[in-house]
Amino acid sequence: RRSAAGIVEWVREKVGPPLKVLEKEEELPTALQERGAQDAFVGRGGEALQNLLARIAAKHRSLGLFCFVKSDGGSDELTLHRGLDEAVALAVNDADSSGAEEEIVGFLRQNLLPIFGEIAEANFYHYESSGAQGILWALFADGSGTGHCKGHDCRNAATRHAEVFRGVARAVEGLKVVFVDVETYKDYVTEELGVT
């Protein structure tokens, strides 16, 4: 069930341009911070890659946030930012080639889910349809230990415990390991996970 604020945010994401073009690299940290639980796909390079990424973003907007940082030189590259701090890069050898779009979309889909990351409305479908054998939900208390975590408290707790949960995810094949903003999704946590 979406809140009014969630619906407004969803509409804004769907009606704006599918590719956010950044003039400078310095603008990227703000865009990444605002992505929430979504993945961010960041292209760097020339006009051919920008045009290709715009086409991909228009077709696959539901995968996450698509950004392009203008670059005067160097090679074309796409970096997928996922989870708390994971980044996976793909060198794009020829953005004008007939197979470039298929290669990039395949890379994005194959690397979409982090080893350990936040689950929310924006990415729940991707976890649900991932074919995982199971999902391990990490639920954290607030800073006082007496209530449920919310927002940045959840992300901070997840960051503190990330290596443990990444270790679990790596050790158990087919298992996805996630954390959730318990306060925001308390109805789901109570009704579907049975945690009060």
Q: Which residues of 70-97 are buried (b: 16+ CB within 10 A; e: fewer)?
A: ebeeeebbbbbbbbbebebebebeebee
Q: Are 87 and 79 in contact (CB under 8 A)?
A: yes
pTM of the model: 0.85
State residue 2's pLDDT score.
66
SS3 content of the chain, % helix, strand, coil (to 5): 40, 25, 35
Give the residue-averaged pLDDT of 20-49: 92
State residue 148's pLDDT score.
82
Q: Are 163 and 86 in contact (CB under 8 A)?
A: no
In 3D space, the residue among 184, 175, 84, 87 whose CA is nearest the CA of residue 139 turns out to be 184
Task: Kindly state the percentage of the chain with pLDDT values over 90.
Answer: 65
Q: Are 39 and 81 in contact (CB under 8 A)?
A: yes
C-alpha distances out from residue 151 to 118, 120, 142, 163, Å: 11, 11, 10, 20
Tell me if residue 121 falls in helix, strand or coil.
coil
pLDDT at 12 over 70: no
Amino acid present at 117: G
- 26 pLDDT band (50/70/90 cuts)? very high
Query: For 111-129, how does the pLDDT look when each residue is reduced to its tens digit (9 = 90+)?
Result: 999 999 999 988 999 999 9
State residue 5's pLDDT score.
75
Query: For 127-186, how does the pLDDT look when each residue is reduced to its tens digit (9 = 90+)?
Result: 999 999 999 999 998 777 777 888 888 999 999 999 999 999 999 999 999 999 988 888
State residue 13's pLDDT score.
65
CB atoms within 10 A of CB 63: 19
In angstroms, how far is the first alpha carbon of the chain from the final one? 18
